[in-house]
Structure formats: structure tokens, C-alpha cells
């Protein structure tokens, strides 16, 4: 197990960071596909479609071809929410990481480095909502290289964000993940994050029943700490 250390993002890390983020999201396609196969609507389509074709045309070949062509279509559907997410983030906050995350005091982006390679990432931005009574920080883009998992790197990155939040006077840290990302959910829960709810967001997410899950970590307030 090679040692690692956490430091602030630098421009020269960009290609590593984008790679980690893209791979970290793409790896959820198989689990999304398996989930999609189990949805009632998919089962109806997979069984009923060929059956209807068989009854209508009398052709086994046609029925078989229909079933076989459905699978790549479902794979495409399973992949879509993840590629859409990555494309969107590369167009928005991640198009210029320094500008989005490192130009103000209340936000930051870190990487975990091991043997001169970037093996983990995490970012944090303030939640801009004037109706909020508490100062709230949102955690983004936690990802650890698959060959460096299980060493506590993600935990250390999340702790870095929590410490930053404390230092900057935030009261809460929030984040969004999904019901497919079981390791991430286990990680956040083990660190004291509480699930606050879930929602169905965009078209692609709806099609594959991918729920966004919301988590919050309440920092003990400075006042309570000094009592």
C-alpha cells in the first residue's frame, strides 16, 4: 500500500482529475443495466415484445432479433445518465476547476496524490440559497482510482472537506449521490452523514429509475463547542 497525501488542486492535475471523474461515473453503467433489466416495464418489453411479434408474424427469427437488439438499447439507456452527468459537469463547474473552486475563500478542490499520480479527488462549493438560515457547503466529485480503493483515501478526502467546512464557519455539509452508488452511500453513512431524502431528476434518470439521494452532515456549531 503506497502512502498518499492530500493537497490542493493544481492546473497540471486536470487530465488526471477529469479521467478519474469520468471513469468513476462510467463504472456504474453495469449496475444500472442490471437494475434496468429488473424493472417491470423492461421485463414486459423483453418478454411481451418478442411474444407479440411471434404471434403477429409467426417468425421466431424476428422475435429473436427483436430481443437481441433490445439489449444494446438498454445498455445505452443505462450508460446515458452517467455520460450526461459527466458532460454537463465538464461544461459547467469542471470546465475551469481553478476558476470554479479556487478563486474564493469559501470553496476548494483537493486531490489525493500517491507516487506522483493523482488517485483521488473531491471539491466543495458553498450552497447559494438566500432562504437558508445556516451556512451550507456542498461536496462534489468524490472519486478514488479503482486500484487505490479500500485504503481510506475517500474517507480522508471527506474529512478534509469537513475540516475545511469547520474552519470556514459552515454549519452543514450536503451532497447528492444516487441509489446505485452503494459504496459511496456506505461511506457517507459510516462517516455520520444522514440521508435527508431522494428525488427523481432528469429524463435519463427517470427512464432507468435512478434516484438522487441527498445527504447532510451537521457540524457541531462553534457555540455548542465552546460551551
Ligand X SMILES: *[C@@H]1O[C@H](CO)[C@@H](O)[C@H](O)[C@H]1NC(C)=O
Ligand Y SMILES: CC(C)(COP(=O)(O)OP(=O)(O)OC[C@H]1O[C@@H](n2cnc3c(N)ncnc32)[C@H](O)[C@@H]1OP(=O)(O)O)[C@@H](O)C(=O)NCCC(=O)NCCS
Nearest approach in angstroms of CB 140 to ligand X is 7
- Identify the residue whose cell numbers are 489525493: 112
Q: How does strand 172-178 pair with strand 211-218?
A: antiparallel
Determine which residue in the list 30, 41, 150, 192 makes contact with ligand Y, applying CB under 6 A: 150
SS3 at position 146: helix
Cell numbers linked to 87: 458532460
Nearest approach in angstroms of CB 2 to ligand Y is 13
Distance in angstroms (rounded) separating the CA atoms of residues 81 and 205? 6
Q: Which does 150 bind (CB under 5 to 8 A by kind): ligand Y, ligand X, none?
A: ligand Y
Query: Distances from the Cα of 63 to the Cαs of 40, 41, 48, 128, 157, in angstroms?
Result: 20, 18, 10, 53, 51
Distance in angstroms (rounded) separating the CA atoms of residues 215 and 50? 42
- Residue 195 pairs in a beta bridge with 215
**Residue with Cβ nearer ligand Y (24 or 50):** 24
177 binds ligand Y (CB under 6 A): yes
Nearest approach in angstroms of CB 224 to ligand Y is 27
According to CB under 6 A, which residues from 179 to 208 bind ligand X? Answer: 199
According to CB under 6 A, which residues from 159 to 178 bind ligand X? Answer: 176
**Residue with Cβ nearer ligand Y (53 or 153):** 153
111 binds ligand Y (CB under 6 A): no
Number of residues that bind ligand Y (CB under 6 A): 19
Q: Which does 149 bind (CB under 5 to 8 A by kind): ligand Y, ligand X, none?
A: ligand Y
CA angle 132, 134, 136 (to 5 degrees): 90
Helices 29-38 & 60-91, crossing angle to 10 degrees?
A: 130
**Residue with Cβ nearer ligand Y (66 or 140):** 140
Q: Which residues bind ligand Y (CB under 6 A)?
A: 24, 27, 142-144, 149-155, 177, 181, 183-184, 186-187, 190
Q: Which residues bind ligand X (CB under 6 A)?
A: 176, 199, 214
Amino acid at each position: 500500500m503506497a502512502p498518499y497525501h492530500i493537497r490542493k488542486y493544481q492546473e497540471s492535475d486536470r487530465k488526471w482529475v477529469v479521467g478519474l471523474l469520468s471513469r468513476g461515473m462510467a463504472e456504474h453503467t453495469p449496475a444500472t443495466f442490471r437494475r434496468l433489466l429488473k424493472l417491470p416495464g423492461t421485463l414486459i418489453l423483453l418478454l411481451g415484445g418478442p411474444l407479440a411479434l411471434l404471434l403477429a408474424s409467426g417468425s421466431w427469427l424476428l422475435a429473436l432479433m427483436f430481443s437481441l437488439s433490445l439489449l444494446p438499447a438498454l445498455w445505452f439507456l443505462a450508460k446515458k445518465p452517467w455520460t450526461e452527468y459527466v458532460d454537463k459537469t465538464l461544461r459547467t463547474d469542471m470546465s475551469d476547476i481553478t476558476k470554479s473552486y479556487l478563486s474564493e475563500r469559501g470553496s476548494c478542490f483537493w486531490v489525493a496524490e500517491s507516487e506522483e499520480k493523482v488517485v483521488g479527488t473531491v471539491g466543495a462549493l458553498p450552497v447559494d440559497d438566500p432562504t437558508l438560515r445556516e451556512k451550507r457547503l456542498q461536496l462534489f466529485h468524490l472519486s478514488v482510482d479503482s486500484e487505490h480503493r479500500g485504503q481510506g483515501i475517500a474517507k480522508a478526502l471527506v474529512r478534509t472537506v469537513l475540516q475545511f467546512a469547520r474552519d470556514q464557519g459552515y454549519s452543514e455539509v450536503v451532497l447528492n449521490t444516487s441509489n446505485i452508488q452503494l459504496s459511496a452511500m456506505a461511506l457517507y453513512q459510516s462517516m455520520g452523514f444522514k440521508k435527508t431524502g431522494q428525488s427523481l431528476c432528469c429524463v435519463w434518470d427517470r427512464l432507468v429509475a435512478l434516484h438522487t439521494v441527498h445527504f447532510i452532515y451537521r457540524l457541531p456549531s462553534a457555540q455548542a463547542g465552546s460551551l
